Amino acid sequence: MAKVSINPSSNANPDTGFGTQANRIGGRFVNKDGSFNLVKTGLPFWKRLSPYSHLMQVSWWRFLGYVVLFYMLVNTLFDTIYLTLGVHQFEGLMQGSVWLHFRQLFYFSTQTFTTVGYGRINPLRDAADLIASFQIMCGWLFFALVTGLLYGRFTQPKAFIAFSHKALVAPYCNGSALMFRMVPYKNNHFLTNAQVSVNAAFLLSENKGGEYQFFSLQLERKRIDTFNMNWTVVHPIDENSPFLNFSEADLGRSDLEIYVQVSGFDPIYSNTVMQRTSYTYQEVVWGARFLPMYHESEGDESTILELDKLDAFEPAGLPVA
């Protein structure tokens, strides 16, 4: 691989927390959704797993699926225990096949677990009474935990920010600049004192196996008072930029990845929120500009922000060096 020439006037950033050895790193550093592209091994699974953080971060569909699955499995377990104790431990059961008894005791288990207790079936002996009492306690704990998780998920501070799928190298002030676009997409959600930091990782071929070098990119504007409309983040390619004298082919040779982190205060949550994303060299368009996203309405003189145009851009010629 040809050596990538980095502008010597730009300042490297050794404090990103990412490793530098290219032959030990696979894929991108940060996924598009902001999660780190990292798998941890070397310790038992139960030591690495954090059930609370996992249940707080998974999608709503997966979370509700876990709740329903756990509910069914627990009741099936208690149903099996009741059936093992014997149907003589209960009264109110309709006589029939083992499958019929299994179904009736499963519904008895769900009624006990939820403390509903319709009363048609009830335990007669000590063993069944003891298991039913323990199941009631398990039901209390289950619904207390689910209630706490639901409250935590609904009230968890989150930055509802959408990023453009592509970053552009676009004309800018008689030169060029690297830029991407982002917008808070929820109604009534906005950030105050919003700040953005952008780092770039380049793969150098000077050492055996290659080595990554990181640079903090200087931005046209890295902070705004109120982030309620779209924000085009611009890194001017000037004498202080590591992209100075870069060509489109250099992007691929450098295995470029741009790491973005945005933070700000959300008045809805009364808390600071943060979101990350990244762009690899395949997601950088050379010679293009973003199209406008907002315009004045014709009726009430309000501003219309068209979120579906976040990724809209058109080709644009770059100045010849």
119 and 227 part of one domain: no
At 239, which helix (H) or strand (E)? none
Q: Same domain, yes or no, for 140 and 169?
A: no
Task: Answer whether residue 205 is part of any domain.
Answer: yes
Domain assignment of residue 120, yes or no: yes
Q: What's the pLDDT at 2?
A: 47
CATH number at residue 67: 1.10.287.70
User: Can you give the pLDDT at residue 294?
Assistant: 86
Question: Domain containing 232 — which CATH number?
Answer: 2.60.40.1400
Q: Say whether both 180 and 126 belong to one domain.
A: no
Give the residue from 9, 18, 11 showing the smallest Cα distance to 261: 18
> Do 86 and 133 reside in the same domain of the chain?
yes
One domain for residues 147 and 162: no
pLDDT in 10s for each residue of the chain, 321 residues:
445 667 666 766 666 666 666 556 667 778 888 777 777 778 887 788 888 888 998 899 999 999 999 999 999 999 999 999 998 999 988 988 999 999 999 999 999 999 888 888 889 889 999 999 999 999 999 999 999 999 999 988 888 999 999 999 999 988 999 999 999 999 888 999 999 999 998 887 655 556 778 888 999 999 999 999 999 999 999 988 998 888 888 888 888 889 999 999 999 889 999 999 999 999 999 999 999 998 888 777 788 889 999 999 999 988 866
Residues 145 and 162 reside in one and the same domain: no
* Helices and strands in the chain: count of H runs, count of E runs: 6, 16
Residue 137 lies in a domain: yes
Q: Which amino acid is residue 182, in one-letter code? A: M
Say if residue 132 is in the same domain as residue 179. Answer: no
Domain assignment present for residue 109? The answer is yes
Rounded CA-CA distance 229/262 in Å is: 14
**Residue 313 in 3-state DSSP?**
strand
The CA radius of gyration of the chain, in Å to the nearest whole number, is 29
Which two tokens mark 130?
A: 């003891």
The DSSP letter of residue 16 is S
Looking at 102, 126, 155, which one is the last position of a domain?
155
In a domain, 12, yes or no: no
Q: Is 130 in the same domain as 207?
A: no
Q: Pick from 130, 155, 180: which residue ends a domain?
A: 155
Residue 305: which domain range? 29-38+158-315
Instruction: State how far the Cα of 150 lies from the Cα of 199, in Å rounded to an integer.
Output: 35
Neighbours of 117 (CB within 10 A): 13
User: Among 122, 155, 188, which residue terminates a domain?
Assistant: 155
Domain count, the chain: 2
Q: Which two tokens stand for residue 266?
A: 């959300």
**Where do the DSSP E strands lie in 48-128?**
90-91, 122-123
CA 15/CA 34 separation, integer angstroms: 19
Helix (H, G, I), strand (E, B) or coil at 260: strand
Place of tokens 């071929």: 205
* Cα angle 184-309-278, degrees, rounded to a multiple of 5: 60
Residue 169 lies in a domain: yes
Q: Are strands 191-204 and 271-280 parallel, antiparallel or unpaired?
A: unpaired
Nearest Cα neighbor of 38 from 47, 29, 49 is 29
d(Cα 183, Cα 306) in Å, to the nearest integer? 10
CA distance 172 to 252: 22
pLDDT, one tens digit per residue, over 216-255 is: 899 999 999 999 999 999 999 998 899 888 888 888 888 8
The tokens of 10 are what? 């730009």
**CB contact set of 184 (below 8 Å; sequence gap of 6+):** 159, 160, 161, 162, 190, 191, 227, 228
State how far the Cα of 224 lies from the Cα of 227, in Å rounded to an integer.
7
What pLDDT was estimated at residue 178?
A: 94
Is 267 domain-assigned? yes
Same domain, 54 and 125: yes
Would residue 7 count as lying in a domain?
Answer: no
The encoded tokens of residue 127 equal 């063993």
In a shared domain, residues 86 and 33: no
The identity of residue 123, as a single letter, is P
Same domain, 194 and 147: no
Same domain, yes or no: 129 and 78? yes
pLDDT tens by residue, 109-158? 999 999 888 888 889 889 999 999 999 999 999 999 999 999 999 988 88
